Amino acid sequence: MTRLLARAERRTVEYLLVLWLGLGILWPTFQGYWPLTLLTGIPRQWPLNLTYTCVGFTVLGWYLRAYAKDWRPWAALFAFGFLWSYGGTVYLTLKDGALNVNPLMGNHLGVALMAAGLGGWVFARMADRPAPKFCAALSQASFCIFLVHVFFLYGLRSLGLSALLCHPILSVPLTAAAIIVCSFAVWLVLRRVPFVRRWLI
């Protein structure tokens, strides 16, 4: 379905991305704040489900691949998104007195800005050059990694490997790397199954 959307003319895709930004990103980010808190009834049903918001990221990626040319504004956008996400996490955590990860959710503004900024930067810098083989393989495996990573997140946690293993500056990258490696290994196996390779990953 997203391929059909991507085949539309550029202006149509841009309209869809604006709609996605409004209902899939901005609304979930600010729904707890005035004036959105004043809305009742049917408008409360307008925000996109997180699943459909994720689909919007794929259309955004296609758009950036086709039209991102200058890397500098995208690098700035990534930096702003990073400050928004992690600054917001620190602020809300200190305010609540407990860890608050809402700014790190996939349908929040800072995450969307980081994704757009990183994607635009990479596509603008790479232009038409082929991606390094490892990066190309990791990109092809990314959907499979997304689908199975939670299995390894819980599995490794049951073996004692989690962000609580030691200081987070070490445990978080170590845990993330272990999950990615295990999930990538699953992709290496599943890509050899014809039906799975064609329709699922």
Q: What is the DSSP string of 3-28?
A: HHHHTS-HHHHHHHHHHHIIIIIIHH
Better-scored residue on pLDDT, 189 or 2: 189
Contact 123, 64 (CB under 8 A): yes
Per-residue confidence at 6, pLDDT binned at 50, 70, 90? confident
Give residue for tokens 């992709």: 187
pLDDT of residue 196: 85
Omega into 194 within 30° of 0, i.e. cis? no
Query: How much of the chain exceeds pLDDT 70, in percent?
Result: 100
Both structure tokens of 87: 């600054």
Per-residue confidence at 153, pLDDT binned at 50, 70, 90? very high
**pTM of the entire predicted model:** 0.82
Those residues whose C-beta lies under 8 Å from the C-beta of residue 38, and which sit 6 or more positions away, are none
Per-residue confidence at 90, pLDDT binned at 50, 70, 90? very high
Contact 98, 65 (CB under 8 A): no
Average pLDDT over the chain, rounded to an integer: 91
Give residue for tokens 């990109």: 139
The pLDDT of residue 130 is above 90: no
Those residues whose C-beta lies under 8 Å from the C-beta of residue 156, and which sit 6 or more positions away, are 162, 175, 178, 179, 182
pLDDT of residue 32: 86
The pLDDT of residue 125 is above 80: yes
Least confident of 21-30, 130-139, 146-155: 130-139
Per-residue confidence at 95, pLDDT binned at 50, 70, 90? very high
d(CA 112, CA 13): 17
pLDDT of residue 155: 93
Average pLDDT value for residue range 176-188: 96
